[in-house]
Amino acid sequence: MPSQTHPIDPVRYGTEPAAPARPIAAAPSAVLSAVDAHAEAAIALLSDLVAINSINPLFPGIDRAAVIGGETRCTDLLGERLAALGAEIHRVAPDPERTNVVAVLKGAGGGRSLILNGHLDTVAPFTPERWISGDPWKPTLKDGRLYGLGSTDMKGGLVSVVLALQAIRAAGVRLKGDVQVHAVVGEETMSHELGTSAVLEAGFTADAAIVVEPSSQPFPLSVAPVSAGNFNLEITVRGRATHAGNRGAAIRPGGEGASAGVNAVEKAILVVQALQTLEEEWGQTKSHPAFPTGFFSLVPGVFHGDAGVPSVGYMADKATVGYLVWYPPGDTADAVKAEIERHVGHAAALDPWLRENPPMFDWKSNWPVADTAEDHPLVRTLVDARAAVLGPIPRGRRETWSLNAVTDASFLEAKGIPTTVFGPGNLRFAHAVDEHIEIQDLVNGAKVLALAILGWCGVAD
Ligand SMILES: [Zn+2]
């Protein structure tokens, strides 16, 4: 169980000599020790949340009836805890069976307001029998980690918020600005209109926001004010189905050609190859200082092709490739779309069949970029709070980073609220077997959040 402010671990936090820290206001030690004092209760709360199956009912392959209500049980439980800290509790539920909870802690006045946002839906676990406990909903404490579905993504983040607010209250600190906790549903399927955006449209806005998703890269508890945009794209190519025995006539020199049959699978491979070329080009043309080299990419994650029956006795009539496209802040979604369509179009023009039967694009969804300036006062407040708890970032390294995933920060920013991601947990273990969170990380995260809340909202006399 954690007790002291965590020293920098050279293995986890980098080995370069530390850069001199900017002057930081002395850490209010009463708040930091109150975080330690309440840590055990916070872990119990996280265990209770993990034990509730709150799979997003719109998640692919999930039967809504089997999981509906789990998200609401989680948001209600969190609301209860925040009500006990003196928060007003509001409920926003465009889908009456999926309730968002907003907890408002009124400040004394004269300070900046802050939203702390997190989602309580989870993805579906795969191969539950391979989990350490044999059950993703059985919270298991082992070696300083809490295992269970949603522990990192991101019930742990919201628990660190409760812990931070509890510590501020226990230390007898009164804030100037209001704090709102938005405990939302629907994030894992981009259903922001049922979750984060619905809450904002109900009038719960503020001067700035922190989304407490696991910001673990490159260091634990990184400050991540930018994230890439992404597209979910499906490209379909038609063929001309026929018996597999016609292949020679269809493709060999001197043969009949397309009238004897066209294999859509191989035509779709031409599309994949074209986009691999574009992806290589992006390695040179698309970059951003906060992102790892080569991050912006075109990822083919799904490939289906057949003649309408799953048999190799045919040439395929139709093939579909599903892509996840990552593009940088600074590029517009429309420009990226046009670039991809143009590139595939040029490749198609070189093939007699695709020239006549061009690939079809289905742009299924666009998750917009998040892009708050690294010198925004909220970002600086978090950077300084992090340094006060964990020590400065190693010399020569950036103080802020990208989040290599998408979050509701994009939808908060779309409503004009400057937002950064910062939270405990490890993205590597999100959406994975044996998802877990390090307790020390959760406690450190709560300490940084507590100091950031004090710094941003201000302390009343
Ligand atoms: Zn998440």
Task: Give 213 Cα–ligand 1 centroid separation in angstroms.
Answer: 6
CB 221 within 8 A of CB 441: yes
Q: What is the number of alpha carbons within 13 Å of residue 420 lying toward its C-beta?
A: 26
Q: CA–CA separation, 378 vs 380, rounded Å? A: 5
Indicate the pTM of the whole model: 0.87
Task: Give 186 Cα–ligand 1 centroid separation in angstroms.
Answer: 10
Task: Give 99 Cα–ligand 1 centroid separation in angstroms.
Answer: 17
Give residue 420's pLDDT: 98
Task: Give 152 Cα–ligand 1 centroid separation in angstroms.
Answer: 8
Task: Give 122 Cα–ligand 1 centroid separation in angstroms.
Answer: 7
Task: Give 143 Cα–ligand 1 centroid separation in angstroms.
Answer: 24
Task: Give 245 Cα–ligand 1 centroid separation in angstroms.
Answer: 49
Q: What residues does CATH 3.30.70.360 cover in the chain?
A: 230-366
Task: Give 54 Cα–ligand 1 centroid separation in angstroms.
Answer: 13
Task: Give 46 Cα–ligand 1 centroid separation in angstroms.
Answer: 15
Task: Give 256 Cα–ligand 1 centroid separation in angstroms.
Answer: 53
Q: CA–CA separation, 182 vs 117, rounded Å? A: 5
Task: Give 153 Cα–ligand 1 centroid separation in angstroms.
Answer: 5
Task: Give 373 Cα–ligand 1 centroid separation in angstroms.
Answer: 22
Is residue 303 helix, strand or coil? strand
Task: Give 242 Cα–ligand 1 centroid separation in angstroms.
Answer: 45
Task: Give 279 Cα–ligand 1 centroid separation in angstroms.
Answer: 27
Of 217, 162, 156, 159, which is closest to residue 438 (Cα–Cα)? 156
Identify the sign of the CA torsion 11, 17, 19, 23: positive
Task: Give 47 Cα–ligand 1 centroid separation in angstroms.
Answer: 17
Task: Give 78 Cα–ligand 1 centroid separation in angstroms.
Answer: 17
Which CATH class, in words, describes the domain spanning 230-366?
alpha beta
Q: Bridge partners of 438?
A: 145
Give residue 129's pLDDT: 86
Task: Give 154 Cα–ligand 1 centroid separation in angstroms.
Answer: 5
Task: Give 74 Cα–ligand 1 centroid separation in angstroms.
Answer: 15
Decide if domain 10-227+369-457 falls under CATH 3.40.630.10: yes
Backbone angles phi, psi at 188, to 5 degrees: -65, -15
Task: Give 421 Cα–ligand 1 centroid separation in angstroms.
Answer: 11
Is residue 295 helix, strand or coil? coil
Sort 133 into a burial class: Cβ within 10 Å, 0-12 / 13-18 / 19+: middle
Task: Give 282 Cα–ligand 1 centroid separation in angstroms.
Answer: 27
Please give the structure tokens belonging to residue 65.
């009836």
Task: Give 56 Cα–ligand 1 centroid separation in angstroms.
Answer: 11
**Weakly modelled stretches of the chain, pLDDT under 70:** 1-27
Task: Give 187 Cα–ligand 1 centroid separation in angstroms.
Answer: 7
Task: Give 150 Cα–ligand 1 centroid separation in angstroms.
Answer: 8
Please give the structure tokens belonging to residue 151.
């522990």
Task: Give 362 Cα–ligand 1 centroid separation in angstroms.
Answer: 26
Task: Give 233 Cα–ligand 1 centroid separation in angstroms.
Answer: 21
Task: Give 403 Cα–ligand 1 centroid separation in angstroms.
Answer: 11
Task: Give 460 Cα–ligand 1 centroid separation in angstroms.
Answer: 33
Please give the structure tokens belonging to residue 408.
């509701």
Please give the structure tokens belonging to residue 177.
């600005």
Task: Give 338 Cα–ligand 1 centroid separation in angstroms.
Answer: 29
Task: Give 431 Cα–ligand 1 centroid separation in angstroms.
Answer: 9
Task: Give 188 Cα–ligand 1 centroid separation in angstroms.
Answer: 6
Q: CA–CA separation, 58 vs 41, rounded Å? A: 32
Q: What residues does CATH 3.40.630.10 cover in the chain?
A: 10-227+369-457
**Per-residue pLDDT reduced to its tens digit, 160-188:** 999 999 999 999 999 999 999 999 999 99
